[in-house]
Amino acid sequence: MTESDINLKGKNALVTGATSGIGLAVAKRLAANGCNVAISGLGDPDAIQKLLTDIHDESGAVALYCDADLRDPSKIYSAVEKLNRDVGDIDILINSAGVQHVADVVVFPVEKWDEILAVNLSAVFHATKAVLPGMVRGGWGRIVNICSTHGLVGSSGKSAYVAAKHGVVGLTKVVALEHAQRKITCNAVCPGFVDTDLVRKQIRNIAEQRNLTYEAAQDEFVSSKHPSRRFMSTDEVSSVVLFLCSEAAAGITGSAIPVDGGWTAQ
């Protein structure tokens, strides 16, 4: 099967955390394959409008901005209700939004714990709960949670992130089981390190703390986990997501799929 065999024309997709990084790559990939896309995420309003224009110009798809603070459940439900009215029920949900903070448990700020759990785990639950009735009505749906290798393994200093991502993997399984007899699938994609703003910030912190060049810190950071000794690309991750949204992947549900350069094979 090639990408040209995937046709999602007329489907409506909501992609959270899609103003940059993996989420943006996924939104563009879905639009290129026929989806109308609504994106949420942080950023300058003019820059976001340019993203929407670019997506539309490149694909011809309808591209909308979904203005929702994912830390507030009521905003998530309101945003989905508005999308249902404006473009129709959501057929595809990609939960990609994420935040990070690195510190040992003993000094981990409580407010950071609360924020990470709210955005990385609770928002996934609320967005999923909000879109599922429409998927049931339509008799078809795809939910893909952009998790992380940290949904499968742990790392020091990332208590909240690891806890949240493990929770997302568990939630993925439950949603899949509850809808196994419908044409609704729910899967998690678990990337290793991807060259995104979130990861670059961690590398800069390592470089500063250890008096290393950015390049040296980056090489150490990636090779410490990836036998491939390279970042995963957003294209690699979005390709897996696109496949999971296709009819060819109808039998895959409740899975957590690593895209991690061999990290979890060790």
Residues designated as active site: 161
Question: Distance between CA 97 and CA 94 in Å, rounded?
Answer: 9
Give the span between the Cα atoms of 175 and 182, in whole angstroms. 11
Report the distance separating Cα 260 and Cα 59, nearest Å. Answer: 29
Three state DSSP letters for 26-86? HHHHHHHCCCEEEECCCCCHHHHHHHHHHHHHHHCCCEEECCCCCCCHHHHHHHHHHHHHH
Contact 74, 48 (CB under 8 A): no
- DSSP state, residue 181: T
Amino acid at residue number 158: K
DSSP-assigned letter for residue 102: -
Structure tokens at 164: 């949240």
